[in-house]
Structure 1
């Protein structure tokens, strides 16, 4: 199997589907791949003739199987992008042709796998040829697609039989009610197993149209780490790609959801809304509003929430996007820019964040781990000292009334002259920032001469001052605005509205995150911050070793 394959296609029976993902996880763990699962009951690879498709009618047990398959995948191999394909699932067995038109998958399979047992091992070559022919009729695969016959899963042990995550539901053949038009809503940030369960089950229920409301703008404000939520356009594209693979015949409509009810309360064609135990009340609210609008109530189809066996003490017990976002903290989100003229020792981190974001506490923790901390706020104080070039230029530009009796610069008085006046503020920063940058460079040079490995530039104005050229990576601290306001009012004794004005006069988190290689948050208890910074530090050490080894 190629280490760089973009897709894996596995043909399996519903009986084996729950065990096939763990079998594949070890073989595909080196890189992130898309694993397409084509469920095909009754496929016979050892009979000598060409296999014929068996179109699966939607059934309750199939919904349960899909739910457990995604749950199983999340438990044992979250690195795999698992997608259960439904092109061969139809409302009745008579719908469809002898073979579907070959379907183009978003990540063309580079290897084909099956776990169907062979009655005669000597037939393996014949069977693999038959397998390739069958896959080529179902999906657009490259010529000469390699196929692998997996060893059939061993019989279930007593422990496995008692594990609901590895057993196939006993309920078989019960028809599943389908609807022409189905609707769901959600954030759909970083598609995970719970999202895919919701989407797959909705695709089973919908025979014509699938409407998806995707949270945007105001609906995101109260989300955990909403700063890290993918842009709306990215989330929509990921949804579209997934659904094109899963059920290409379905008409998909994706619309922005800017209030809790959205299009579901005004679309007269909708017949069903898919909810979970947690969102059932939202579905009931939709029906109350539909009835108020003179529309029939929707059928509420409820799915189970998937449990997250990997959750930490600060994360939800269910598989959720907020947990996935929290796991991104401290990791490398985007590769650092190459700066050929910048020596790799010391490795320089530019740490920035809004007022009240906990930037200073993070800098202090990094210093305790061994980094040299360069406090740019303290350095800027030195720039204003009498006798310096910046001191003379500030007095010339803003007048002697910005001086104290001892001839030192009265920074509050100076601040009043520039507050709210962008032109005067720029005149001040054009004087102060270049002089501060010189002091920062001197501090980095001193750290290099002392043989230090890491230097942290603690700078609230890192981006505004253009100091990113001096650093190898940009780290950003984020925190919800209301928490920042609370901290500023308590720390500085200012009114909440003054705190908000201060925050809005600074660069936005959105702008900082455009440059962020690593993001941290101090929104939780100090011990959580400590673990987060330690994680970031350890990953940094590995990156530094790799870069220096490549010199």
Structure 2
């Protein structure tokens, strides 16, 4: 083993997270996206060095970091009942420390080394650009490694790194014997897991990998949908079930292609565990461990054998940024962090001028849309309030005024010669055809007034204008915007706010909400989503995040246009 003063073999570069790449190195690795971190130390030495090793590895990778357990790491591990539990500890530590130490990377622990079916990783979904070793080797060990990873080294001998300094002076650790039990070290033919699997995070990967570690032949994974999503935080942001199934399958097949996968939609908590006889063991988290007894009771009633259960501990979220987020790693927190960020790519709108940059802001009743626009006004945006323009559109001596009387009758005119909007409302209430006629008259007038105000604000020096419009999408006004931003809250919260704010009954409030576009329909068309469900400070964080993103985006657009001149 070389010391600090010795040079590593010429084809292996020593590096450290403390080192700074030269400009030449930075250019060389700009295209390097995926790395393979190979753990070669004795497994009990791997654990204390993991955070530093992962941090160092992340300096060289921009997209995916695969982690593989090399045969050298297992030379001192006796074949005892402790083996799988020790591997579980390594896998859990890798994933639990990766959000903090490998921010922005997709970390994936490969099963080949942990399940002993291959000395080197099988073909991965993403091509490996870099090899990273946790320890330098000499002599026969070096020859073995070079031979073992020959296919990865081809054409890449200048892209191999030794993360040696991160592993120095690390002692071996011992697992307390009371943490070891037979269930945690047993393998089964058929294993089952379940969950929502939205915004796949480290917690999901721990659950999946712990199940695969104990699975010989077949893994069943139930992906929650329908009524199982009802009480999830920001459930309207959850991806479609087909997409989540596809994501789980891609991840699972990438980290362990030797297992048969049965990944299915479930709409009740038990899913196929209630009736599938070809299951041996279920892996659950601490918060759902009570479900094992319920499942086995149902299986017993159906004449099926009970499932053995394996419970994994919850992992704290080291990247938690707000008290509103959950303490544990969760998809709910991941969705919350997406608020105020670009969810849907921005497609340039060639039909409107580049200046000012127009944001269409919409949302359902009591969603907090107006409070959001007020916050943007304080940051420097011009505001076009389409609700106020709606009142202006009805004024006498306008084209809209004349058309309304022609269409709905002169009895709409009140004593002051203005449109009696209450009387008009009665004429279109529960009459879909009449309401459509009304909208076809009023909406174009509001759009015309909005365009005039947008131009006036541009003349006044505003570079960003917020078009605050409840019916933005229904009226097709997104055509006069560069982006669409949407504000949402839960139906329950919306009903509560309408009752308190407008003095409506719960039934009336619910009817109003049901008559509008759903949150999910709005979210599907939104570039950015906000939620005012929590306190004002959290709303402000979302607004500032979106504002910073917008300023960066518009600046980049401006520079691109200059470059094209």
The verdict on a shared fold, with TM-score over 0.5 as the criterion, is yes
SS at match of 1:208: strand
SS at match of 2:29: coil
Gapped regions of structure 1 (runs ≥ 5): 45-50
* Equivalent position of 2:65 in the other structure: 35
Matches within 5 A, 1:286-305: 286-305=295-314
Which one of 556, 559, 562 corresponds to residue 546 of structure 1? 556
Contact 1:38 1:86 in 2 (8 A): yes
Query: Structure 2 vs 1, CA of residues 500 and 76 (structure 1 numbering), >3 Å: closer, same or farther?
Result: same
Which one of 193, 198, 208 corresponds to residue 189 of structure 1? 198
Contact 1:22 1:73 in 2 (8 A): no
Deviates more, 1:310-319 or 1:107-116: 107-116
Which one of 89, 96, 116 corresponds to residue 71 of structure 1? 96
Structure 2 length-normalised TM: 0.86
SS at match of 1:182: strand
Distance in 2 (CA, whole Å) between partners of 1:346 and 1:168 is: 64
Query: Structure 2 vs 1, CA of residues 396 and 67 (structure 1 numbering), >3 Å: closer, same or farther?
Result: same
Contact 1:272 1:301 in 2 (8 A): yes
Distance in 1 (CA, whole Å) between partners of 2:57 and 2:88 is: 27
Deviation for aligned residue 1:30: 8.4
Matched, 1:206 2:219: no
Deviates more, 1:525-534 or 1:298-307: 525-534
Query: Structure 2 vs 1, CA of residues 112 and 323 (structure 1 numbering), >3 Å: closer, same or farther?
Result: same
Matches within 5 A, 1:264-279: 264-279=273-288
Deviation for aligned residue 1:103: 2.6
Contact 1:75 1:310 in 2 (8 A): yes
Distance in 1 (CA, whole Å) between partners of 2:271 and 2:541 is: 40
* Equivalent position of 1:5 in the other structure: 32
Distance in 1 (CA, whole Å) between partners of 2:453 and 2:147 is: 67
Distance in 2 (CA, whole Å) between partners of 1:479 and 1:167 is: 48
Matched, 1:364 2:394: no
Matched, 1:86 2:111: yes
Cα offsets for 1:86-145 (capped at 9, x unmatched)? 12444xx7xx57x67x7321111122221232236xx9xx95x865652356xxx59524
* Equivalent position of 1:111 in the other structure: 130
SS at match of 2:465: strand
Comparing both structures, which one devotes a greater share of its residues to helix? 2
Which one of 167, 178, 183 corresponds to residue 187 of structure 2? 178
* Equivalent position of 2:266 in the other structure: 257
Distance in 1 (CA, whole Å) between partners of 2:80 and 2:397 is: 84
Contact 2:63 2:106 in 1 (8 A): yes
* Equivalent position of 2:49 in the other structure: 19
Deviation for aligned residue 1:55: 11
Cα offsets for 1:184-237 (capped at 9, x unmatched)? 110011111111001000001111111111110111111001111111111111
Matches within 5 A, 1:145-164: 145-146=156-157, 147-154=159-166
Distance in 2 (CA, whole Å) between partners of 1:168 and 1:360 is: 58
Distance in 2 (CA, whole Å) between partners of 1:535 and 1:484 is: 24
Matches within 5 A, 1:310-325: 310-311=319-320, 312-325=322-335
Deviation for aligned residue 1:67: 0.5
Deviation for aligned residue 1:539: 2.5
Distance in 2 (CA, whole Å) between partners of 1:142 and 1:241 is: 26
Gapped regions of structure 2 (runs ≥ 5): 1-27
Which one of 245, 250, 258 corresponds to residue 236 of structure 1? 245
Cα offsets for 1:508-529 (capped at 9, x unmatched)? 2222112211110000122221
Query: Structure 2 vs 1, CA of residues 294 and 208 (structure 1 numbering), >3 Å: closer, same or farther?
Result: same
Matches within 5 A, 1:512-527: 512-527=522-537
Distance in 2 (CA, whole Å) between partners of 1:174 and 1:245 is: 29
Deviation for aligned residue 1:481: 0.9
Cα offsets for 1:283-325 (capped at 9, x unmatched)? 2222222223332322110111111122120011111000010
Deviation for aligned residue 1:38: 0.9
Contact 1:264 1:286 in 2 (8 A): yes
Query: Structure 2 vs 1, CA of residues 153 and 16 (structure 1 numbering), >3 Å: closer, same or farther?
Result: farther
Query: Structure 2 vs 1, CA of residues 19 and 344 (structure 1 numbering), >3 Å: closer, same or farther?
Result: farther
Deviation for aligned residue 1:155: 5.0
Contact 1:194 1:305 in 2 (8 A): yes
Deviation for aligned residue 1:250: 0.7
Query: Structure 2 vs 1, CA of residues 55 and 426 (structure 1 numbering), >3 Å: closer, same or farther?
Result: farther
Distance in 2 (CA, whole Å) between partners of 1:174 and 1:525 is: 45
* Equivalent position of 2:15 in the other structure: none
